[in-house]
Structure 1
Amino acid sequence: MTWWLVLISRSRSDSATTGLGKSGYQSLGGGDLGEGVDHVPGKVELVNLDAGAVGRGTFEPGWKWSTHVKPIAGTASCQASHMGYVISGRMNIVMDDGESAEFGPGDFMICQPGHDAWVVGDEACVVIDWQGFADYAKR
């Protein structure tokens, strides 16, 4: 069963932080910054924290998983789970079963393995991912 969770972003004038907490917070700068994994036209940067890896993916216009990462991963579709927050740009994700969704700035998403994804429009899509980038596109 495929499932998605999309939270509509708050307006910039709404400074409430309902659902967000600071306990257990670690600065990203305090982690071990791993080497970036480059996938033209995209880049994934990892920070390894005690609680697990956090990745920032920057995917340029024209980036598509099945075109740029599939040859590296060696799988028919992305087999990583993702739990991410979109900072900028837009990304379309299509599950192997055909279900699809488009995400943009302020959207939080959870995506199971078995999907393709690509940048929509002419702006880079920047995503912070707490789940899927630690083993992203490893052979």
Structure 2
Amino acid sequence: MAGLVVKSLSSPEEVRPFKDGMGKLELVDLASGGVGRATFQPGWRWSEHVKPIAGTDSCLASHVGYVISGQMTIRMDDGEQVTLGPGDYMRCPPGHDAWIVGDEPCVVIDWQGFVDYAKG
């Protein structure tokens, strides 16, 4: 059995900036997988600020996350849409766009989809 492992998103092992300074992704890697904290600035939209990095028509990452602050709307490729806010937990399959709602940055912790997210 492995020993206790402690890592902090306050000292990430990797930082990936989004296009045009619209936010960043901070990552730590655990044996069980990566964990990321993304900060999305007001005006951020996946199709404008990550699509050029990902090179796909929509986000193909599957996310399991928790919203700490701010609001984000997610629209699935099939048209289903939801707005998330502080305290919301979500599971989001591949095939979506997302954008920030309002004037506050949105901070999301993700246990699944950020390992390859915004990676050029």
1:26/1:108 Cα in 2 relative to 1: closer, same or farther (>3 Å)? Answer: farther
Q: Which of 112, 121, 124 is 2:102 aligned to?
A: 121
* Runs (5+) with no aligned partner, structure 2: none
Query: Counterpart of 1:110?
Result: 91
CA–CA distance in structure 2, aligned partners of residues 102 and 25 of structure 1: 36
* Runs (5+) with no aligned partner, structure 1: 1-23
Structure whose residues are more often strand by fraction = 2
User: Taking structure 2 as the reference length, what is the TM-score of the superposition?
Assistant: 0.89
CA–CA distance in structure 2, aligned partners of residues 37 and 133 of structure 1: 10
| Alignment: residue pair count | 115
User: Taking structure 1 as the reference length, what is the TM-score of the superposition?
Assistant: 0.78
CA–CA distance in structure 1, aligned partners of residues 50 and 12 of structure 2: 22
Percent same amino acid at aligned positions?
64
Q: Could you tell me how far 1:51 is from its partner in structure 2?
A: 1.2
Q: Could you tell me how far 1:137 is from its partner in structure 2?
A: 2.1
RMSD (Å) for aligned C-alpha atoms: 1.8
Specify the code of the residue in structure 1 equivalent to 2:53: I
Q: Could you tell me how far 1:42 is from its partner in structure 2?
A: 1.1
Query: Counterpart of 1:34?
Result: 13
Specify the code of the residue in structure 2 equivalent to 1:69: V
Question: Contact 2:15–2:27 at 8 Å: present in 1 too?
Answer: yes
